[in-house]
Amino acid sequence: MSVCLSTVDLSLENVPDRDEIAAVRDLVRSFVAAELAPHEEAVDAGGEIPAGLRAQVVGRALDAGLYAFNLPAEVGGPGLSFLAQTVVRRELAHSSFALADLIVRPPRTLLHCDAGQRARWLGPAVRGEVRFAFALTEPEAGSDPGSMRTRAVWTPEGYRLDGVKHFISHGGTAELVIVYARTVRDGREEGITALVVERGQAGFRCTREDRTMGWIGSPLSELAFDGCLVPHENVIGTPGEGLRLALAQINEARLGVAAHCAGIAEHALDLALAHVRTRSQFGRPIGANQGLQWRLADMAARVEQARTVVTNVALAVDRAGLDDRDNSRYRIPLAKLTASELAGSVVDDALQLFGGSGFVRGTTVERMYRDVRAFRLGEGTSEMQRNRIGRALVGRLETP
């Protein structure tokens, strides 16, 4: 009997709530097969997700209870554990990134809204009525938010916002944007603050959408703010505490990326297995060749490494939280680094096993090859993750 890697998951075999996790996995797997997979080729070829398809997928996700799957039950989310959330991300990764990203995860920063803001923003976000973009990265402040140049100066009417953000997912389509800026009041810098800016507001515009090699249908945008007046009631939390709020969002995103990459690796291996069992050369399936079997064995080992580290880190986050020092500075960066690097190598091997057909534009493995490359860059490059892990291991040492 042949093995299908998506049904053999060593990382979950000893998880106490394995049956509940399996039920979540099966729900998402069915959703991907019915609602996302049929549209992959058309979206990749057309370069965008039609508005009608976007609305259809969002509606089906709401009906299935998958929309806003990262939020707790007390604010209207499904209240999934972090382990269950990583399983959702792994299964969504069996489709293209653009389509998977329609199953929105509202920014965790919204959990710090006051009662009025929850009614204005958080509730509608959970119900799929509005979509938020998360604007932290700048041309000179990517992995280093401490170098942020976007500023907002306090006035009696609100904060006057100036600056540029780039590589912002959903920046060109979201109705609301959480912008992180250095705020100043009476000549004194307050620190980094989270501000909500509404689309169409004076002084705010999307200046560019970048064409990327992967993630077709989910463009990255540049946003510019020129004297944009943000009302005081649009400040989330206390002025100056925005960096702490942003880091919680970043930690969740990094763990999510790790899970997504584990799912991509799993999907790539399953595709490769199906191919080598049916593709024949010299009168027999190519999977009968020992050299290819060794390559597949190495791929399987990397898939299990990725899944296991994601599972273990998710369990640690469930125990101690995203803000726990060891989770934030060591475990989550380790999961992101490990899974993104391993996924890249697994997809590369899968394309090699497909041969020339894997290099043809429009095939699933070719699209995966383009999609997976971004995950070693976004949410902190592999080099930055290594820096965090290294500092956690040896401490901060002075450079001579």
Q: What does DSSP assign to residue 108?
A: G
Asked whether residue 113 is domain-assigned, the answer is no
Residue 315 tokens, joined: 């369990």
Decide the pairing of beta strands 151-155 and 158-169. antiparallel
Note the Cα 97 to chain centre separation in Å. Answer: 9
Predicted pLDDT at 4: 57
Task: From 108, 140, 159, give the residue that closes a domain.
Answer: 108
Residue 389 neighbours by CB under 8 Å, 6+ apart:
330, 333, 334, 337
Residue 254 tokens, joined: 């990094």
Residue 372 tokens, joined: 């997976």
Contact assessment for residue 152 and residue 162, using Cβ atoms and an 8 Å cutoff: yes
Crossing angle for the helix pair 82-92 and 290-320, to the nearest 10 degrees: 150
Q: Which of 233, 366, 379, 383 is catalytic?
A: 379
Asked whether residue 43 is domain-assigned, the answer is yes
Quickly count: other Cβ atoms within 10 Å of residue 351's Cβ. Answer: 20
CATH number of 49's domain: 1.10.540.10
Residue 154 tokens, joined: 């306090």
* Same domain, yes or no: 269 and 390: yes
Predicted pLDDT at 301: 97
Task: From 51, 75, 108, give the residue that closes a domain.
Answer: 108
Match 């004076």 to its residue by tokens: 202
* Same domain, yes or no: 22 and 150: no
* Same domain, yes or no: 205 and 322: no
Predicted pLDDT at 395: 86
Contact assessment for residue 303 and residue 265, using Cβ atoms and an 8 Å cutoff: yes
* Same domain, yes or no: 257 and 372: yes
* Same domain, yes or no: 204 and 341: no
CATH number of 280's domain: 1.20.140.10
97: which strand partners? none
Tens-of-pLDDT digits for all 400 residues of the chain? Answer: 455 555 678 888 888 888 999 999 999 999 999 999 999 999 999 999 999 999 999 999 999 999 999 999 999 999 999 999 999 999 999 999 999 999 999 999 999 999 999 999 999 999 999 999 999 999 987 767 778 999 999 999 999 999 999 999 999 999 999 999 999 999 999 999 999 999 999 999 999 999 999 999 999 999 999 999 999 999 999 999 999 999 889 999 999 999 999 999 999 999 999 999 998 788 888 898 999 999 999 999 999 999 999 999 999 999 999 999 999 999 999 999 999 999 999 999 999 999 999 999 989 999 999 999 999 999 999 999 999 999 999 987 665 4
Residues in the chain: 400
Q: In this structure, is the dihedral angle defined by the CA atoms of residues 245, 251, 256 and 261, taken in order, positive or negative?
A: positive
Query: Would you call 300 helix, strand, or coil by DSSP?
Result: helix
Enumerate helices (H) and strands (E) in the chain, giving the number of each: 13, 10
* Same domain, yes or no: 301 and 276: yes
Range of the domain at 68: 5-108
Predicted pLDDT at 1: 46
Q: How many domains does the chain have?
A: 3
Decide the pairing of beta strands 176-185 and 151-155. parallel
**Of 210, 256, 217, 213, residue with least CA distance to 39:** 217
Measure the CA–CA gap between 331 and 285, rounded to whole angstroms.
41
Asked whether residue 118 is domain-assigned, the answer is no
In the chain, DSSP assigns E strands to 132-135, 151-155, 158-169, 176-185, 188-198, 204-210, 220-230, 235-236, 280-281, 284-285
- Indicate if 379 belongs to the active site: yes
* Same domain, yes or no: 259 and 368: yes
Measure the CA–CA gap between 189 and 158, rounded to whole angstroms.
15
Predicted pLDDT at 398: 61
Predicted pLDDT at 144: 73
